[in-house]
């Protein structure tokens, strides 16, 4: 077998001939027991300890551990830096660490750039939408609760299907990418072994600490990923090597070999070192469509946003886009170009197309550069990304089952409870109505606030003491006791739900192993079937005239249109649909499918909603948005979140829309200005500058690499330092506030006791 590497017309390049090529392979250096120890006992055990630490902090500092919502929103006051690190970590799939190098090999340096930009664009746009979400529905814990409140049961079931389908696609990407890499690095690692490892890893600390523990674990995961990435960069570009990897350690040597190779036909001068790349641009466009459903239709993204207050959430997502961009762009460029340079001069560095599509370029190059320790580092990075994203998906699926399936349809607390009625007593609530407009014929809700209920406080103290003795929990409060018992049953169901979702990963992984689906096909095609629910999800939050018929019709017709477009374009390639996996994952097939599903869904949703809506005046508009404000937990009202922002707010009084707009004004400005600046940087300034250079010279290539590396090192420093400092400040501040309140309570109690004794003395006289 012979193979010739074509070169450019550069006089310094020579035609490189290869004969009797022996394809390279990723070495199985890690023993099976070593992988088990490092993944389960190492990272799994450490994450469980972090989950226990989180539970200790919530119980002893914030006093909200015994609450269903805390499991899924981490208390609702997560810091900006911890939000940023968690979002970046949860959106960093193993596929991003692996597939970014594959894109570099197929499209050159432009490939990894547009691959990263495709995901970053939606991360930048999400804060704008999330501000509207928090303003109009501050009590919602899932985006599907908005669908249910506005459009009812049918639309809610349809969107639950699409949301769970999105989680399924994400989990498929995690399992296929994780299995491929673990098997490539570990001796005799069967598919079943890999799936069991990942399932245990995903569910262990989520079961213990809920969503909050994922924030803590994500921080350490991101730190380790950046540390490993910095080591890779230094060894590939700055550390001298000898023998087979002599090219590594020198930017100039890598440039000299890569510039001699003829790249894809769609690249300018068929060079790998240009931003004028047709294939890379297509990757970026289809990446925007693909990640739109991931960002806006994946409950994992909404959980991270709901867990933070307005400004912190906006700044967190914007910062996450810069943190996330540094990782795939750096690792993809580094390992991808190193592979091209080494495979051009040595036949043993050439991987098969199947291995490249499986994303094995990164572990292959790191092993060659770092040897045995490199395999452990890749396994560490993979484990870190699997832990954060996998646990986020477990919590996302669990929250959908708890809030949107079990609590909404199977076992609601009060069946047929209408909007504007108290969940506890079923009577109309006067919270949103002025006294002059109330109907004198109606009996309005008189339930006291659960936050200030003295009987509930006594119940809680008594039950804490009884729980330590193993006795049954009893609630004596006539107003809130029944609902507290219901919440306790939901907490128990939540725990079982997380367990069964984790167990469900095992048969899914087995099925994927039997089907033989690779990472490339899953990432390219999977989101075509989830994108149709993206327009309906967004419009339900920002457009009052959106209707149930519109979102259902748009989603279903968009799905049909996207799948049809993919199959039609795929049939035009060699082999037609008979070569299904290869042709449906072609660039133009994916682009046709994703764009069609989005455009058709958006158009149908808007047109049908305009025909069927009943919004005719401001009163009807206010009534429609009021449905979202009624999503609330009476034991932990969403209005309590704004006590610091609105100190004059009375008990059981909700902030008006005007007051919420005032609270969210800074967040909105931050989202608009920060989003506009970030989009300008990523899709105008950076590609414009690089495109003006056409095929890069040696100095331009060095400048680009050093820019990416500086970005990576800077983000690493920010992640390591800022997040723990800010979290420590929040904990100390809350402890001081708690101590001050306790002191006031003691002084108040002494004063009350003194007054009572004084009254008794007066009576005796």
Which has more pLDDT, 206 or 371?
A: 371
- Produce one character per residue of 656-692: b if its CB has 16 or more CB atoms within 10 Å, e if not: eeeebeebbeebbebbeebbeebbebbbeebbeebee
Q: Which of 152, 108, 146 is nearest to 130 (CA)?
A: 146
pLDDT of 435 > 70? The answer is: no
pLDDT for 699: 92
> Average pLDDT over the chain, rounded to whole?
79
Least confident residue range of 257-271, 289-303, 565-579: 289-303
> Which helix (H) or strand (E) covers residue 662, if one does?
helix 657-663
* Candidate ranges 380-384, 399-403, 412-416, 759-763; pick with highest mean pLDDT: 399-403
β-bridge partners, 308:
78
pLDDT for 71: 57
Q: Which of 100, 65, 44 is nearest to 520 (CA)?
A: 100
Separation of alpha carbons 300 and 308, rounded Å: 14
- By CB atoms closer than 10 A (0-12, 13-18, 19+), residue 117 is buried
β-bridge partners, 7:
261
pLDDT of 735 > 80? The answer is: no
User: Quick one: CA torsion of 374, 380, 382, 387, rounded to 10 degrees?
Assistant: 180
Tokens coding 40 = 């389960």
Contact 527, 594 (CB under 8 A): yes
The owner of tokens 């994922």 is: 214
Distance set, CA 37 to CA 61, 204, 218 (Å): 34, 15, 20
Q: Provide the angle, in degrees to the nearest 10, between the axes of the packed helices 533-542 and 143-151.
A: 70
pLDDT for 755: 45
Mind listing the pLDDT tens digit for each residue in 457-516?
777 777 766 655 556 677 888 888 888 888 888 888 887 888 888 889 999 988 888 877
pLDDT of 75 > 70? The answer is: no
End-to-end CA, the chain: 115
* Candidate ranges 120-134, 317-331, 351-365, 430-444; pick with highest mean pLDDT: 317-331
Separation of alpha carbons 338 and 241, rounded Å: 13
pLDDT for 21: 45
Least confident residue range of 125-139, 264-278, 419-433: 419-433
Q: Which of 256, 635, 681, 193 is nearest to 450 (CA)?
A: 635
Contact 324, 91 (CB under 8 A): yes
Q: How confident is the model at residue 747 (pLDDT cuts 50, 70, 90)?
A: low
Sign of CA dihedral 30, 31, 35, 41: negative
pLDDT for 208: 62
Contact 232, 381 (CB under 8 A): no
Q: Which of 544, 706, 232, 172 is nearest to 389 (CA)?
A: 172
pLDDT of 757 > 50? The answer is: no
Name the maximum alpha-carbon separation found in the chain: 115
pLDDT for 565: 93
Tokens coding 559 = 């799905």
The owner of tokens 């049939």 is: 571
Which has more pLDDT, 453 or 541?
A: 541
Which has more pLDDT, 409 or 20?
A: 409
pLDDT for 130: 81
Range 690-705 average pLDDT: 89
Tokens coding 359 = 């994303």
Residues with Cβ within 8 Å of 391's Cβ and at least 6 positions away in sequence, in order, are 202, 203, 205, 206, 214, 217
Q: How confident is the model at residue 399 (pLDDT cuts 50, 70, 90)?
A: confident
Mind listing the pLDDT tens digit for each residue in 344-390?
776 667 788 777 877 788 888 888 888 878 878 888 888 777 777 78
Q: How many CB atoms lie within 10 A of CB 542?
A: 12
Separation of alpha carbons 195 and 116, rounded Å: 28
Mind listing the pLDDT tens digit for each residue in 20-68?
444 566 666 677 777 777 777 666 667 777 767 766 776 666 665 555 5
pLDDT for 468: 57
Angle at 129 between CA 125 and CA 132, to 5 degrees: 150
pLDDT for 323: 92
- By CB atoms closer than 10 A (0-12, 13-18, 19+), residue 7 is middle
Separation of alpha carbons 488 and 581, rounded Å: 47
Q: Which of 542, 143, 116, 74 is nearest to 312 (CA)?
A: 74
**DSSP symbol at 5:** E
Range 233-243 average pLDDT: 79
Q: How confident is the model at residue 599 (pLDDT cuts 50, 70, 90)?
A: very high
Sign of CA dihedral 519, 523, 529, 530: positive
pLDDT for 312: 77
Mind listing the pLDDT tens digit for each residue in 325-343?
999 999 989 888 888 888 8
pLDDT for 605: 96
Which class is domain 25-59+88-419+480-744? mainly alpha
Separation of alpha carbons 447 and 392, rounded Å: 36
Range 724-736 average pLDDT: 78
């Amino acid at each position: 077998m012979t193979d010739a590497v074509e070169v450019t017309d550069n006089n310094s390049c020579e035609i490189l001939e290869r004969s009797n090529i022996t394809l390279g392979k990723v070495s199985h250096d890690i023993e099976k027991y070593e992988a088990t120890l490092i993944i389960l006992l190492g990272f799994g055990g450490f994450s469980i300890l972090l989950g226990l630490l989180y539970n200790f902090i919530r119980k002893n500092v914030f006093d909200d551990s015994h609450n269903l919502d805390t499991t899924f929103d981490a208390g609702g006051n997560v810091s900006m830096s911890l939000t940023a690190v968690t979002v970046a970590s949860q959106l960093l799939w193993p596929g991003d660490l692996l597939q970014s190098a594959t894109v570099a090999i197929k499209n050159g340096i432009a490939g990894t750039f547009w691959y990263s930009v495709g995901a970053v664009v939606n991360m930048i746009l999400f804060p704008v939408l999330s501000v509207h979400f928090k303003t109009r529905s501050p009590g919602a814990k899932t985006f599907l609760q908005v669908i249910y409140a506005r459009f009812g049961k049918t639309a809610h079931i349809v969107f639950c299907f699409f949301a769970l389908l999105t989680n399924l696609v994400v989990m498929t990407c995690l399992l296929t990418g994780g299995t491929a890499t673990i098997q490539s690095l570990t001796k005799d690692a069967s598919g079943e072994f890999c799936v069991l490892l990942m399932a245990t890893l995903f569910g262990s600390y989520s079961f213990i600490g809920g969503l909050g523990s994922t924030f803590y674990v994500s921080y350490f995961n991101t730190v380790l990923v950046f540390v490993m990435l910095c080591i890779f960069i230094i060894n590939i570009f700055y550390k001298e090597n000898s023998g087979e990897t002599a090219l590594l350690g020198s930017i100039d040597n890598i440039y000299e070999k890569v510039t001699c190779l003829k790249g894809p036909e769609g690249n300018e001068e068929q060079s790998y070192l240009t931003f004028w790349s047709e294939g890379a641009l297509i990757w970026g466009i289809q990446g925007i469509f693909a990640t739109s459903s991931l960002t806006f239709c994946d409950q994992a993204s909404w959980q991270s946003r709901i867990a933070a207050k307005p400004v912190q959430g906006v700044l967190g997502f914007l910062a996450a886009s810069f943190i996330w961009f540094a990782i795939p762009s750096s690792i993809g460029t580094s390992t991808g170009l190193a592979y091209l340079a080494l495979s051009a001069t040595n036949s043993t560095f050439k991987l098969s197309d199947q291995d490249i599509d499986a994303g094995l370029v990164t572990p292959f190059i790191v092993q060659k550069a770092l040897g045995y320790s490199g395999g452990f580092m890749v396994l560490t990075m993979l484990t870190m990304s699997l832990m954060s994203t996998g646990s986020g998906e477990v919590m996302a699926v669990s929250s959908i089952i708890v809030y949107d399936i079990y609590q909404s349809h199977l076992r609601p607390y009060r069946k047929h409870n209408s909007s504007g009625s108290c969940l506890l007593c079923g009577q109309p609530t006067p919270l949103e109505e002025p006294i002059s407009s109330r109907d004198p014929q109606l009996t309005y809700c008189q339930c006291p606030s659960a936050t200030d209920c003295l009987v509930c406080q006594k119940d809680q103290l008594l039950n804490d003491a009884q729980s330590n003795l193993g006795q049954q929990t009893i609630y004596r409060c006539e107003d809130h006791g029944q609902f507290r018992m219901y919440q306790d049953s939901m907490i128990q169901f939540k725990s079982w739900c997380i367990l069964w979702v984790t167990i469900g990963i095992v048969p899914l992984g087995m099925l994927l192993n039997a089907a033989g689906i690779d990472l490339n096909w899953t990432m390219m095609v999977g989101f075509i079937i989830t994108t149709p629910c993206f327009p309906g999800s967004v419009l339900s939050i920002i457009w009052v005239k959106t209707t149930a018929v519109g979102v259902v019709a748009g989603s279903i017709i968009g799905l049909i249109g996207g799948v049809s477009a993919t199959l039609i374009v795929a049939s035009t390639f060699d082999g037609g649909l008979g070569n299904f996996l290869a042709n449906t994952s072609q660039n133009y097939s994916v682009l046709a499918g994703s764009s069609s599903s989005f455009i058709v869904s958006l158009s149908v949703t808007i047109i049908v909603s305009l025909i069927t809506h009943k919004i005719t005046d401001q009163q009807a508009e206010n009534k429609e948005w009021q449905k979202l404000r009624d999503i609330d937990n009476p034991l932990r009202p969403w209005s309590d979140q704004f006590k610091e922002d609105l100190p004059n707010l009375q008990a059981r009084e909700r902030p008006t829309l005007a007051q919420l707009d005032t609270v969210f004004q800074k967040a909105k400005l931050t989202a608009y200005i920060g989003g506009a600046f970030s989009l300008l940087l990523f899709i105008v300034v950076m590609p414009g500058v690089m495109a003006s250079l056409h095929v890069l010279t040696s100095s331009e290539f060095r400048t680009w690499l050093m820019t990416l590396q500086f970005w990576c090192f800077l983000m690493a420093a920010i992640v390591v330092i800022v997040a723990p400092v800010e979290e420590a400040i929040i904990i100390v501040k809350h402890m001081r506030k708690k101590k001050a309140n306790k002191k006031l309570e003691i002084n108040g109690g002494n004063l009350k006791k003194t007054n009572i004794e004084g009254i008794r003395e007066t009576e005796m006289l």
